[in-house]
Structure 1
């Protein structure tokens, strides 16, 4: 069954407050106190240790590193207080998504797991929370491939809408399990993170990678007989994840997957975003002549524009560039950075929530989901220190809105990368 997931259009946020109220009415707020950062297993790479350096030439925000790290910790505390929950018992921890179609979505569980693993050391409850999130994921298998996560749950944490998967959530779940294996090890404790990660990676390969194009499918519901089989979502092109998957499994096919996505990013930027570097939410005809969608193919009439999916691309591409030193990712990130810096005149408040690929706007709203990723891209350009500092100031000073999980989660993860606290297992 195809999940008709709708991304967060501006109008959807108006209804978010009612959804939050409904979700919280089911069970009281049971998240751990965000100020209670007290006792758990010691992580190997605690937040703020900066043990794994970025590529040479990568920028950092101006100012002392400890102050920068503290700004991320404060943002994490806001995010955790707003969205980390134990609403459904069973020892589960969930990431609440009030601005999505359902209170709990696979994308959100993936975000929560990645964030929690990376923030270990700043939050000494991280392992307990992470294990509760793992327990939640394992209790909600996809109906098509039980090695994957069912993408949507209702306020009672019951899987709905066919119980099938969404690729972005699965990619982050697998990646987070690899982070956890590096942080806490897999030889003791409740879960063998490495074993679970490899199983999840293999399930992704089986059901969410197109075997012909080597590009990510939209979910395990997209099969050869289904009309979306030759469509790929640009925000699923997580090339650093593919690097980690190859390292964890020794499976060389992940190099093929990585190359296919990098080539597609480069050609799409050249053909359709030559002056901007912008990518479309969805690319169609991946088996023949890949191009941006024309009108609605899954979510909205702007599926061929830089919208609520592609807004994450600068973060994902930039993260691969700074952690791996990859020149293709670096060049793609620099294209995005050069355009947005010029088009806004260096003013982050002028970044809006919707662009055509030529850089013209179709929406005038503002959201951290669009603003924050450009800070990651700015890391790749030695001539963008002032621009990076302006973006960092915007991210650090913008409080988390408890009604907007999506923008807040992208904001926090972008800040983790920009602060130098991101790493690839």
Structure 2
């Protein structure tokens, strides 16, 4: 009687309702006006189907109000691969399940000394100076980035984010109030007591840029203003050295050569440049690449590994027990394990070939070391690749999977790594960093644009739209141009070609098209334009689409009509777009 898919989502529910309605009409002759008994029966059928499908979640999250980039964004980065043995929808579900677990275990708002203050509960290394440490600025940074990226899935994300920011500001550094002290403790006297740690502040400042783009800055917190203040008067003033390196905190010297490679968050630094237009950030990026390459050429030419701390010029590994933190400060250990994610994101989001070169070197070495088995990665290596660790933990494994996304030859490795990491649950440090890697690998860590640039208008919003076919009721063409990422156009299933076009009303200059694909995406399609709706010209051709959110540049094009013409499906279904957006030139 029913022909439903194994992937149960809002599409299936509507299909069931429509097919059940049609079957009832033809077999019983009932009127279109449904009785309460009939509606109850339909609800029962849907519930049974959903229960039979197990715990499969809807393909699209329920959004809270106000998000401009609600989860899932599922971006496809140029030159970057994703796991291809699972659907995008399944990856999104794995991320939301892991976030819900992480939030329940580590995200807390029980500070008696700071009402409304949130923090990420986790262990610290180092001496908390007489206070009982609950967390750190490092964890605060992780939590703020994670929360803003999960907004849309979590309807309380902005409240939580603002609470995390409240804690970051209350626990300000004793040296520079624009930075955060490195320890969170439930005591008023701990607020303003500690100096800073560079990594936490970099993530916090970066998260403020994301928050500005997610919610805007006209609410109770001016996220953009706070970001600029922290970037310039905090990080630049205290952490960027005269040698174009990053020191370890605002307690450290401005001419220091000692630096922590896990602080080299290159895509963060590019975002800092975008919002400040200060060339110091580009100079810093260039020098950090030089330091990395000089270090690797001298100490890890076959592995590409880097030590937890780097000192001197020319750069070399710090000695053992550096800063009395732990013995292994001279090798690839629990600080440096985070580096591959920080490096590869500069290639994914900004296309820097230096990032890809480092990522490829690391990936080639670790795949050979483990015989292409991610679960054989160990928690510690000497710079020559000798194992010093004895088990696999996510903070070591997941960044190596992220680095491998920079080359399509690593597909099997990325697939195996995703399967390993998505259910790995350990402790605050590994779990938090694992979730950050999951957000990146699934395409749900989106690139912030220039936060000073006014948003371009979506020319297609609420215009007229026409499609070659529709799957059924509630999947009409105009669902793709209504500005609602919970509704969508879907074509009939199982046939090519299919298309949808939008009528902009008059001929307009075009700058780009943005396609928000549902799970039913196009591998091959064209963007075509026309001035009369009859004669079409190819403006863009895609031959290897992978779904997600696709940004398509249109150069020197003017048209009244814009069409997505799909010629090869990426799934057995049809073609489906949450939104078909058209933008003018910048």
**TM-score in same-fold range (> 0.5):** yes
> Distance between the aligned counterparts of 2:98 and 2:254, measured in 1?
43
Matched, 1:312 2:342: no
| 1:359-407: CA deviation from partner (whole Å, max 9, x where unpaired) | 0011213321111111110101211111111100001122x33xx1000
Q: Which is further off, 353-362 or 289-298? A: 289-298
> Distance between the aligned counterparts of 1:370 and 1:295, measured in 2?
20
The partner residue of 1:90 within 109, 115, 133 is: 115
Q: TM-score, with normalisation over the residues of structure 1?
A: 0.85
| 1:155-179: CA deviation from partner (whole Å, max 9, x where unpaired) | 4475389510000000000000000
CA apart distance, 1:68: 0.8
Matched, 1:351 2:381: no
Q: Runs of 4+ in structure 1 displaced over 6 angstroms?
A: none
> Distance between the aligned counterparts of 1:250 and 1:39, measured in 2?
33
Which residue number corresponds to residue 104 of structure 2?
Answer: 81
Matched, 1:230 2:257: yes
Q: Contact (CA 8 Å) 1:152, 1:161: kept in 2 or not? A: no
Unaligned 5+ runs, structure 2:
1-60, 127-132, 449-586
Which residue number corresponds to residue 48 of structure 1?
Answer: 72
The partner residue of 2:269 within 223, 237, 242 is: 242
Which residue number corresponds to residue 4 of structure 1?
Answer: none
The structure in which a higher percent of residues are strand is 2
> Distance between the aligned counterparts of 2:410 and 2:188, measured in 1?
44
> Distance between the aligned counterparts of 1:310 and 1:157, measured in 2?
33
- Equivalent position SS for 1:153: strand
CA apart distance, 1:232: 0.4
Q: Contact (CA 8 Å) 1:117, 1:180: kept in 2 or not? A: yes
Alignment of 1:289-304 (within 5 A): 289-298=314-323, 299-304=325-330
Q: 1:361 to 1:257 in 2, by over 3 A?
A: same
The structure in which a higher percent of residues are helix is 1
CA apart distance, 1:301: 2.4
- Equivalent position SS for 2:104: helix
Q: 1:59 to 1:192 in 2, by over 3 A?
A: same
> Distance between the aligned counterparts of 1:237 and 1:86, measured in 2?
30
Rg comparison, structure with higher value: 2
The partner residue of 2:236 within 205, 210, 222 is: 205
| 1:244-274: CA deviation from partner (whole Å, max 9, x where unpaired) | 0000111111110111111112222222111
- Equivalent position SS for 2:322: coil
Q: Contact (CA 8 Å) 2:73, 2:443: kept in 1 or not? A: no
Q: Which is further off, 70-79 or 264-273? A: 264-273
Which residue number corresponds to residue 167 of structure 1?
Answer: 198
Which residue number corresponds to residue 122 of structure 1?
Answer: 153
Q: Contact (CA 8 Å) 1:317, 1:329: kept in 2 or not? A: yes
Flag the structure with more relative contact order, 1 or 2, with Cα contacts below 8 A and sequence separation at least 6: 1
CA apart distance, 1:284: 0.6
- Equivalent position SS for 1:372: helix
Unaligned 5+ runs, structure 1:
1-36
The partner residue of 2:134 within 78, 81, 103 is: 103
